[in-house]
Amino acid sequence: MPRPKVADRLLIGDADTVSRMIESAARHVPFREVFLLFGQGILERDRCKKTLELFAEKVIPRFR
C-alpha cells in the first residue's frame, strides 16, 4: 500500500473541510480521541490561538 503524502495527513481548511476530513478518517479507523497540533512554534501566538478557538467553536461541537 502506498504511503500517503504528508499533506494528506494534515487537517487544513475551513470548519466544513476539516470536519469532513475527520469523518473520513473515522470511517477508515474508528477512534474516540485525537491529538492535534495547532501551529505551535510555527504560527504567531495570536494566529495559533485563533485557530484553536475556531476549531473549538466550529468543529468540535459536530462530534459531540
Q: pLDDT-derived band of residue 41, with 50, 70 and 90 as boundaries? A: confident
In this predicted structure, the answer to whether residue 36 has a pLDDT above a threshold of 80 is yes
Higher pLDDT, 64 or 5: 64
Asked if the structure places residue 1 within a domain, the reply is no
Q: Taking 70 as the threshold, does the pLDDT of residue 23 lie above it?
A: yes
- Residue 1 has what pLDDT? 65
Structure pTM? 0.78
pLDDT at 39: 80
Query: In which domain, by residue range, is 13 found?
Result: 6-63
The total of structural domains in the chain comes to: 1
The yes-or-no verdict on residue 40 having pLDDT over 90 is no
- Tell me, yes or no, whether 59 lies in a domain: yes
Residue that the C-alpha cell 469532513 belongs to: 20
Instruction: Write a three-state SS string for 1-64.
Output: CCCCCHHHHCCCCCHHHHHHHHHHHHHHCCCCCCCCCCCCCCCCHHHHHHHHHHHHHHHHHHHC
